Amino acid sequence: MIIITVRFPVLPEHAEQWPELTREFTEATRAEPGNRWFRWSRSLDDPHEYVLLEAFDDDAAGAHVQSDHFQTAMREMPQWLASTPLIINTVVPDDDWGLMGELQVEPRD
C-alpha cells in the first residue's frame, strides 16, 4: 500500500473555502479503483494549513496522477496556495488500518 501525506499551505483568504474548492477533486479521487482513503484535516497549529492523508493500492497511485481530475487540480490549486505543498510518499507492507498497540480502549456500553 502507498501512503501519501501532503501539507497544503492555503492562502488565508481561501482557507475557509478549501474543502469546497477541493470537493470535486476529493470526490473523484475517493471514487478511483484502488483508493483506500483520501482524508483532509485542518491543522490545529496553523489555521491556513490543510493536511491530506491518502492511501492507494500499490498499482493504483500511478493511475491517480494520470487522471483528469488530478491534472485539473494541479492546474487550479496554485492560485489558492501560499507555497508549494510538502509531501511524504511511502510504501508500507500493511493493507489497512490496525489497532494501536500502545493504547487500548475497552468497549463502552
Q: How far apart are CA 48 and CA 99, in angstroms?
A: 31
pLDDT at position 93, please?
92
Q: Could you tell me which residues come within 8 angstroms of residue 44 by beta carbon, excluding any fewer than 6 positions away?
A: none
Q: Which CATH architecture describes the domain 2-91?
A: 2-Layer Sandwich (3.30)
**Structural domain spans, the chain:** 2-91
**Per-residue model confidence as pLDDT tens digits over 5-22:** 999 999 999 999 999 999
**Per-residue model confidence as pLDDT tens digits over 94-104:** 888 999 999 99
**Per-residue model confidence as pLDDT tens digits over 33-72:** 999 999 999 999 999 999 999 999 987 777 888 899 999 9
